[in-house]
């Protein structure tokens, strides 16, 4: 792939599937066992905080049982060795990208291992269970919630993401169904900016039509292969 300087990479639950973390919309996906409205909306938090906190406590605890896979490690190596601009934008709330060593990383949907104070707005590292009414160490109010972007809320750092997409020469989408905006629209922004667009997924996503190329297969095989071709 000639004359590529700036790369933006979008990842979804599919990149963590081979590490043993459930996706949302596949067979026995997370949304099979739970209704989005019951665990991933501001109304759900109002209505039943205990259920919402428990749902994320269970997913946070699972992180202690899983490891990054070859796809996470390949992206971390690309991040470390790529001389141009590079940004990994993950929809995932797991910590597998950073545990593989990725640095130029944005969690647009928040992080399981972080807590958000609704009183002072602080996001704080939080590796432990987070009962409703936990006290914020920054402002002492009992106002911590899971630092997860719920449906209907604004994803994090959209201005930075948008700026990176507008300068991209290559946009990669890995392991996402393309079911949720604004992430599902990133490919169009990148295309308008003249970027090459490539999708790596186990099956064609809802947005496959917008990609120049879709490679079908498991991320743990496709991503290391692509990184080997990109790095000198
Ligand atoms: N390798 C590559 N792709 C895979 C693999 C794998 N081993 N396993 C599954 N996939 C693909 C599936 O084919 C599917 O297209 O990953 C995609 C996962 O799609 P979703 O479960 O919808 O997850 P995601 O796209 O990340 O969801 C986006 O929706 O519910 C919200 O906030 C949540 O961030 C999430 C967002």
Residue 219 CA: which ligand 1 atom is closest?
A: 1
- The predicted structure's pLDDT at residue 37: 82
Q: Is the pLDDT of residue 232 over 80?
A: no
Tell me: is residue 69 an annotated ligand-binding position: no
- The predicted structure's pLDDT at residue 172: 98
Tell me: is residue 26 an annotated ligand-binding position: yes
Q: What is the ipTM of this complex?
A: 0.99
CA distance 228 to 77: 10
Q: How confident is the model at residue 1 (pLDDT cuts 50, 70, 90)?
A: low
Tell me: is residue 99 an annotated ligand-binding position: no
3 state DSSP class of 223: helix
Count of positions (residues) in the chain: 232
Average pLDDT over residues 76-101: 98
Angle, CA 137 vertex, CA 131 and CA 143 arms, to 5°: 45
Selected catalytic residue, list 53, 72, 73, 109:
109
pLDDT tens-digit readout, 94-138: 999 999 999 999 999 999 999 999 999 999 999 999 999 999 999
- Annotation says 109 is catalytic: yes
Pocket of ligand 1 (CB under 6 A): 12-14, 17-18, 23-26, 29, 91, 109, 175-177, 179-180, 201-203, 205, 218-219
pLDDT tens-digit readout, 178-231: 999 999 999 999 999 999 999 999 999 999 999 999 999 999 999 999 999 999
Identify which of 10, 172, 175, 186 to mutate to test ligand 1's pocket (most ligand atoms within 8 A of the CB).
175
Identify which of 22, 25, 68 to mutate to test ligand 1's pocket (most ligand atoms within 8 A of the CB).
25
CA distance 49 to 121: 18
Structure tokens at 69: 């896979």
Q: Is the pLDDT of residue 2 over 80?
A: no
Virtual torsion, Cα 88, 167, 179, 53, nearest 10 deg: 40
Q: Is the pLDDT of residue 48 over 80?
A: yes
- The predicted structure's pLDDT at residue 28: 78
The protein residue with its alpha carbon nearest to ligand 1, atom 36, reads 180
- The predicted structure's pLDDT at residue 171: 98
Residue 218 CA: which ligand 1 atom is closest?
A: 1
Tell me: is residue 175 an annotated ligand-binding position: yes
Q: Is the dihedral of CA 104, 110, 116, 120 positive or negative?
A: positive
Q: Is the pLDDT of residue 142 over 80?
A: yes
Q: How confident is the model at residue 62 (pLDDT cuts 50, 70, 90)?
A: very high
Least trusted range by pLDDT, from 21-30, 46-55, 144-153: 21-30
Q: Which domains does the chain have, with CATH numbers?
A: 7-21+67-109+155-230 (3.40.50.1220), 23-65+115-148 (3.30.1600.10)
Q: Is the pLDDT of residue 153 over 70?
A: yes
The pTM score is 0.97
């Amino acid at each position: 792939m000639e004359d590529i300087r700036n790369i933006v990479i979008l990842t979804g639950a599919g990149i963590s599937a081979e590490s043993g973390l459930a996706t949302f919309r596949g067979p026995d996906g997370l949304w099979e066992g739970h209704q989005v409205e019951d665990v991933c909306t501001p109304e759900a938090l109002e209505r039943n905080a205990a259920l919402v906190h428990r749902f994320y406590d269970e997913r946070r605890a699972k992180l202690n049982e899983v490891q990054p896979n070859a796809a996470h490690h390949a992206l971390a190596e690309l991040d470390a060795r790529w001389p141009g601009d590079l940004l990994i934008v993950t929809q995932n709330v797991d910590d597998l990208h950073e545990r593989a060593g990725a640095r130029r990383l944005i969690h647009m949907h928040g992080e399981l291992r972080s807590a958000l104070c609704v009183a002072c707005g602080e996001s704080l590292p939080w590796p432990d269970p987070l009962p409703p009414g936990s006290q914020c160490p920054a402002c002492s109010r009992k106002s911590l919630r899971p630092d997860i972007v719920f449906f209907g809320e604004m994803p994090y750092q959209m201005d930075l993401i948008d700026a990176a997409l507008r300068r991209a020469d290559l946009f990669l989408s890995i392991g996402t169904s393309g079911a949720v905006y604004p992430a599902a629209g990133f490919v169009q922004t990148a295309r308008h900016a003249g970027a090459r667009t490539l999708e790596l997924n186990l099956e064609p996503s809802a947005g496959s039509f917008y990609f120049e190329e879709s490679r079908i297969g498991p991320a743990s095989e496709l991503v290391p292969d692509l990184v080997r071709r990109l790095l000198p």
